[in-house]
Structure 1
Amino acid sequence: MTLHHKLLLDFVKAVQIRPEVYEDHNAKDAEKAWEVIADQFEITVSDAKKQWLELVRIHRFMYLDLPDEAFKVIAPKEDPRWQTATRQTAITLAHFLQNDLKFLFKDETII
């Protein structure tokens, strides 16, 4: 399930204020945070995590010139057939999400 595009920034902010889901924290704390996020958007925890990984993947495709080491989170590799679509989505959403996703860099001053 994908959130409506008007909810993406709210979703990013909901995750950003809960570093336990994207930094090395206790798994129980992370799961509790995911439950809160899922409830906030009336989706399942599984769907919230999938939405997050897709945003992480899109963010990575916004910066193909940077090494993986520049990012706090890297999504699992996707089917290579989808990479062109993911790249185009990243280009399209960059204008809307790029600044809001800067917290995913290990060093936010990188860009």
Structure 2
Amino acid sequence: LCTALVAGLFVIAYTLLVYFRHRKKVNGVANASFGDSAAPADDRGAPGTGASDHEPSAPTPPVEELCVVCLHGKATWAAVPCGHKAMCKEHAELLKAQGQPCYVCRARVEG
């Protein structure tokens, strides 16, 4: 019984480890370490400062304007009739094509 409990806890811990590693990779922070420090916004990657070697391609919209599904597209599409403007074009089309409810309130979407 004790061995089975330890084995079960190991499986759960391993599964969580794999899950969080996957989430880090998906979110683009797989190579970040706790010791890294962010450079000031006006520092353009001067040698020896620890700043990034690349410029951001476009400013990131505020969190309130991000698609609730992918969290990187701008939420420009709304569900009807509830009116939740919470998704990018790609996920609005997916919601409509699959007949899914609103991603925010789960209300039936017309259209």
Give the TM-score normalised by structure 2: 0.24
> Relative contact order: is structure 1 or structure 2 higher (C-alpha 8 Å, sep ≥ 6)?
1
**Higher normalized helix content (fraction of residues):** 1
Give the TM-score normalised by structure 1: 0.24
**Higher normalized strand content (fraction of residues):** 2
